[in-house]
Structure 1
Amino acid sequence: MNKKIIISMIIIGFILILLDKKFFNKKIYNFSKEEGKEIKYEKKENEPWSGLYISIFYFTSISLGALFFLGIQNISNSGWSIIIHPIMEDIASFIPYGSIMIFIILSLNTLDYIHLFHWMSPDLFDPISLKYDKIIASKKLFLNTPFFLIRSLIYVLGCSFFYFKIRKKSHILDQTHSLNDYKKLYFISLIFIIFFSIVSILIAWDWIMSLNPHWFSTLFGWYILSSYIVTGIGTITIISIYLNKKGYFPLFNKNHLHDLSKYLFSSSLLWSYLWFSQFLLYWYGNIPEEIYYFLKREEIYQSIHFWILIPNLVIPLFGLISSKNKTNPKIVFSIAFTLLIGHYIETYSLIAPDVEIQFGMSEIGSLLLIGGIFYYILFSNLNKRKPNASKGNPFFQESKNYEYPYM
């Protein structure tokens, strides 16, 4: 991708954030009811931080999904995907940057500079205060600022560590062609899969679900993990098709595309299954504390949680169910791009209703700004790639000559 386009995205995004009238300080008031009395209290303006938080989380989740998918390929000894491993690594290169940006926003919350996380207000834990919240106070053992920041720091450092470690082991393997180094790559990937399987659930609880501390879902962590996988595979597919079309990725062919399309298809179905599992269980239970999550999105955002099923389930289901379509670059590219749009809307629907914002210039600007940074880092890493990348992997020749048996 032309660097001028990427830099233009970053500049336009920054300008849109500055031009948004919500960027300037203003007072916003919320109302709560205590003992039958309506209490008015000032709430801090969260723009442009809310839009930035949504975009940073979205692009970081793409990178995490790509690294998770790469780890799965490594520990399963998959031969077909070896030539695509460098692309997976480069998509994952945003992890250190994105996770640090998220940590900065979380730190600004703890300093009370911004107020995305409502539960961080000390008045909610004080029984004497008019703002005292019994439900939030009962979760103080888990939802307290020091422990929250420590957990977040573990997520940031842990995911960044495994990204650098896997990348380093992969580069060493390219140079040595050693089976011993391949085993080391296998081992570190295995540890990462175990680590991330646990941490991804905690990230979902801390960085998204705690935005609305009255609501909880036992499926939520797995639901968010499935979204990581879909967006990660979708981005891998788009970049692979794009590089192949430009002539920079000649080893990539319809056989590899077919397998990527299968993963894209199956991961979108997995996400849909978890979406329906969560929704139907709550609809059947009809418990006010649970269904409020869906009612809020229905009333404020015109049932956004239902509309996201069109790009995230309906289009990939009917578009990729045909084996012939799975090998058509134009169709697969369009569906993968649609899924990325759909999952941005999903990320927005997860966060925006709980921080009480409406989509505007600030959100568009944040998407362009963070998206521009993401693609700048991605293509900078791709440009540094050596032509012999992944040739040290013992399955490289199998991947190079791969043919899907039923094509």
Structure 2
Amino acid sequence: MIIGFIFILFDKIFLEKNIIKNTEINNSICTGLYISIFYFTSISLGSLFFLSIQNVSKSGWSVIIHPIMEKIASFIPYGCFMIFIILLLNAMNFIHIFHWMDYYLYDDTYGKYDKIIVNKKFFLNIPFFLMRSIIYTLGCSFFYLKIKKISSILNKTHSLNDYKKLYFISVIFIIFFSIISIFMAWDWIMSLNPHWISTLFGWYVLSSYIVTGISTITIISIYLNKKGFFPLFRNSHLHDLSKYLFSSSLLWTYIWFSQFLLYWYGNIPEEIIYFLKREEMYNSIHLWMLIPNFIIPFFGLINSKNKYDPKIVFTISLILLIGHYIDIYNLIAPDIYNNGLKFGISEIGSFLLIGSFFSYILFINFNKNKKELNHYTGNPFFKESKKYKYPHI
């Protein structure tokens, strides 16, 4: 965390020496922070969403991994709150990441009057925008805390009624998140460039949540098992996690390709500007990131034997996390400045700073409830999960 502060401070001093406007310095630093906060928040959201899917599907194999998923989701209140602070700073005119908030775009007496943004004022106006963001922040935090509380009670009572409550709240969260995740993607990312539209964008970002969430669950499970803190986690559980990792990366690729193909075929200016801009700024990064996000996971996990090899799965999970950071960077950075945002010291410092805070929150939660990792006995499927064995291993 300290190293992250040093990197950001060094970048600010460097920019000031190069006589860059103070507003641009703040924008550069806040953009790096925004990308990192959104990235780590998406990991937590993906983990909670995956946990809810397991609860609703009444999946037996995954019960022993539920505590891992809950702990990863513990960053949600902090991440969403930090995102909201950045949005608030933008609304108060301290920074200018979301350009549609600039007042002169709505005044036709100025030379920068933007008719397209004005036509979207019903949806993109600061009070309504902040109100929606509050709903995202409070809603996701509420469901995380509620699921965590019911799980804790269930672990003590072993009551079927409490399990039904957990099932019900998970169903409601899946419905809630499936809807708000679309609006969240529109507001927190797509509105950075109000001239661009995509009907698939919300699902694209949701698939990224799932991939990063499962990747982090896998990495932490393998690490804790290797250190001896998670003996119930065996190759059979790893094999099933790997199948989810494989299928979720395919889902992300499918949506990526669907969006790309429709844009290429339609050739509509307000759509293809998304890819043309990134091709010019970052040398077709949207194509290169298929290597860590699709090609490596596909060929690495298509063999069933590889799915229960901890070293291979750990490496591929780590590659996927790196690949999806590149993806989120690619979604956000090009739309902040006309000439793009170059990856540098500020972005590295922001990643280290927020990553350290994310790790600290997880460490505190793991340290508080060490016993839960191997004694999640309240769930009626615990014994099934404990004895679970994949037939071909």
> Per the shorter chain, which TM-score range?
over 0.9
> Which secondary structure state, in structure 2, belongs to the residue aligned with residue 78 of structure 1?
coil
CA distance, structure 1, for counterparts of residue 149 and residue 353 of structure 2: 29
**Corresponding residue number in structure 2 for 1:236:** 217
> Which secondary structure state, in structure 1, belongs to the residue aligned with residue 206 of structure 2?
helix
TM-score normalised by L of structure 2: 0.96
Are 1:381 and 2:365 an aligned pair? yes
Query: How far does residue 111 in structure 1 lie from its aligned partner after superposition?
Result: 0.4
Provide the aligned C-alpha RMSD in A.
Answer: 1.4
CA distance, structure 2, for counterparts of residue 292 and residue 394 of structure 1: 52
Structure 1: which amino acid aligns with 2:356? G
Are 1:14 and 2:5 an aligned pair? yes
Query: How far does residue 406 in structure 1 lie from its aligned partner after superposition?
Result: 3.0
CA distance, structure 2, for counterparts of residue 290 and residue 22 of structure 1: 36
CA distance, structure 1, for counterparts of residue 239 and residue 360 of structure 2: 28
TM-score normalised by L of structure 1: 0.93
Structure 1: which amino acid aligns with 2:256? W
Structure 2: which amino acid aligns with 1:380? I
Alignment of 1:127-166 (within 5 A): 127-166=108-147
Query: How far does residue 24 in structure 1 lie from its aligned partner after superposition?
Result: 3.9
**Corresponding residue number in structure 2 for 1:3:** none
Structure 2: which amino acid aligns with 1:358? K
Alignment of 1:29-48 (within 5 A): 45-48=26-29
CA distance, structure 2, for counterparts of residue 306 and residue 339 of structure 1: 15
Match of 2:253 among 264, 267, 272: 272
**Corresponding residue number in structure 1 for 2:312:** 331
CA distance, structure 2, for counterparts of residue 48 and residue 22 of structure 1: 12
Query: How far does residue 125 in structure 1 lie from its aligned partner after superposition?
Result: 1.5
**Corresponding residue number in structure 1 for 2:328:** 347
> Which secondary structure state, in structure 2, belongs to the residue aligned with residue 48 of structure 1?
helix
Query: How far does residue 384 in structure 1 lie from its aligned partner after superposition?
Result: 1.1
**Corresponding residue number in structure 1 for 2:265:** 284
Structure 2: which amino acid aligns with 1:383? N
The answer to whether the 8 A contact 1:17-1:23 is kept is no
Are 1:316 and 2:302 an aligned pair? no
**Corresponding residue number in structure 1 for 2:356:** 372
Query: How far does residue 376 in structure 1 lie from its aligned partner after superposition?
Result: 0.7
Structure 2: which amino acid aligns with 1:405? P
**Corresponding residue number in structure 2 for 1:5:** none
Query: How far does residue 405 in structure 1 lie from its aligned partner after superposition?
Result: 2.1
> Which secondary structure state, in structure 2, belongs to the residue aligned with residue 274 of structure 1?
helix
The answer to whether the 8 A contact 2:15-2:25 is kept is no
1:57-99 Cα shifts (integer Å, max 9, x gaps): 0000000000000000000000000000000000000000000
CA distance, structure 1, for counterparts of residue 322 and residue 25 of structure 2: 30
Residues 1:216 and 1:230: Cα distance change in structure 2 (over 3 Å):
same
Identity over aligned pairs, percent = 72
Match of 2:195 among 214, 223, 234: 214
Q: Name segments (4+ residues, structure 1) moved above 3 Å.
A: 21-29, 42-45
CA distance, structure 2, for counterparts of residue 246 and residue 240 of structure 1: 10
The answer to whether the 8 A contact 1:23-1:48 is kept is no
Structure 1: which amino acid aligns with 2:176? F
The answer to whether the 8 A contact 2:289-2:323 is kept is yes
Residues 1:362 and 1:341: Cα distance change in structure 2 (over 3 Å):
same
Comparing 269-278 with 281-290, which one deviates more in the overlay?
281-290
**Corresponding residue number in structure 2 for 1:54:** 35
**Corresponding residue number in structure 2 for 1:360:** 344
Q: Which has the higher helix share?
A: 2
Structure 2: which amino acid aligns with 1:259? D
1:213-259 Cα shifts (integer Å, max 9, x gaps): 00010000000000000000000000000000000000000000000
1:191-222 Cα shifts (integer Å, max 9, x gaps): 00000000100010000000000001000000
The answer to whether the 8 A contact 1:27-1:45 is kept is no
Residues 1:176 and 1:45: Cα distance change in structure 2 (over 3 Å):
closer
Unaligned runs of 5+ residues in structure 2 are: none
Residues 1:193 and 1:377: Cα distance change in structure 2 (over 3 Å):
same
CA distance, structure 2, for counterparts of residue 24 and residue 48 of structure 1: 12
Are 1:392 and 2:364 an aligned pair? no
Are 1:192 and 2:178 an aligned pair? no
Structure 2: which amino acid aligns with 1:189? S
CA distance, structure 1, for counterparts of residue 316 and residue 384 of structure 2: 28
